[in-house]
Amino acid sequence: MLPARDNPFAVHRVLRQRYRLDESGWAALLARLDAQGGRGAIVGPHGSGKTTLLEDLAPRLESRGWRVHVLRISAEERVIPQAFLRQMAPSLGARDALLIDGAEQPGLAAWWSLCLRARRAGALVATVHRPGRLPLLHCCVTSPELLRALVVALGETLGPAEAVALHARHRGNLREALRELYDAAAARGGITSSEAGV
């Protein structure tokens, strides 16, 4: 049996992989955010890297002098935390950047209420599945090539045809594709290439 801790597709390993955006891509994204008055949506379907991109955006904003606040709205609760509405929102100012993960979760009225309360924040960036709630900042798109690159970065291999089939089977959701590879590795068992020192 391959212990879960040694599975090459274990979540702690997958989470080390960051959003694939080169320096010119980051420069363009930050310039777009400036041009849009600090407002922007990171748009993409499930498992396309929206949250990862949002997480990677935070230190880049901090290095530019922003005070970054992160608000996560879970699919289970779908409500804006009261602590945010009562305490954080009134204190936001021109150098505060509010990053919201899961902005499609609250209803439209709750979303506009949140925007109203956060209007003094210098930057507001949110992840959403569809465009509309904020001006588009970045569209997250996956591909079989990206899936293969992630698998290679995790120390494993995936053939081109396999990557195409896996990507299609999960409709571009890389998180689910990597979960399938986790199950396959667990079923295969044995020693992984990393354990063997290859």
When binding is defined by CB under 8 A, the residue of 67, 129, 175, 179 that contacts other proteins is 179
Whether 3 and 192 have beta carbons less than 8 Å apart is answered as no
In angstroms, rounded to a whole number, what is the distance separating the alpha carbons of residues 155 and 17?
12
Exposure of 149 in the CB half-sphere (CA atoms within 13 A): 9
Per CB under 8 A, which region of 4-12, 82-90, 101-109, 165-173 contacts other proteins? Answer: 4-12
Q: Considering the rule CB under 8 A, would residue 7 count as an interface residue with other proteins?
A: yes
Amino acid making up residue 38 = G
> What sign has the CA pseudo-torsion 59, 63, 64, 68?
positive
When binding is defined by CB under 8 A, the residue of 110, 146, 164, 186 that contacts other proteins is 186
Q: Considering the rule CB under 8 A, would residue 182 count as an interface residue with other proteins?
A: yes
In angstroms, rounded to a whole number, what is the distance separating the alpha carbons of residues 171 and 143?
10
Query: 3-state DSSP call for residue 77?
Result: coil
- For residue 161, the surrounding DSSP H or E stretch is helix 160-169
Q: Considering the rule CB under 8 A, would residue 11 count as an interface residue with other proteins?
A: yes
User: What is the nearest approach in angstroms of other proteins to the Cβ of residue 36?
Assistant: 31
Per CB under 8 A, which region of 71-79, 116-124, 150-158, 180-188 contacts other proteins? Answer: 180-188
Q: What mask of x and - would describe binding to other proteins in positions 139 to 178, judged by CB under 8 A?
A: ----------------------------------------
Q: Token digits for 6?
A: 């040694």
Residues that bind other proteins (CB under 8 A): 1-7, 10-12, 15, 179, 182-183, 186
